[in-house]
Amino acid sequence: MKDMRRLSDNEVADQLRGAREELFDAKFKLATRQLKNFRTMPQARRKIARLLTVMRERTTESETNG
């Protein structure tokens, strides 16, 4: 989480895009029975949630600071 907070807004957006692609790929592999590591789906979901939390913190912080 600390590492994610150090990223710039653009880097957070890029990381979020990548995590969503990972989740999509994992779902696709699951559907085609090619997924070998089933832990990738929950890990990708958690990463997405953490990145969205960082983005939300920044927006609320900027709203309260004016």
User: What residue segments make up the domains of the chain, in order of their start?
Assistant: 2-65
Q: How far apart are CA 43 and CA 48, in angstroms?
A: 9
Q: Which CATH number fits domain 2-65: 1.10.287, 3.40.1620, 4.10.240, 2.40.50?
A: 1.10.287
Sequence-ordered list of residues with C-beta below 8 angstroms from that of 47, at least 6 positions apart, any chain? 15, 19, 22
Nearest by Cα to 25 from 10, 9, 15, 40: 40
pLDDT over 80 at 40, yes or no: yes
12-35 pLDDT per residue, tens: 999 999 999 999 999 999 999 999
Q: How far apart are CA 51 and CA 22, in angstroms?
A: 14
- Between 53 and 2, residue with greater pLDDT: 53
Confirm if 55 and 16 have CB atoms less than 8 A apart: yes
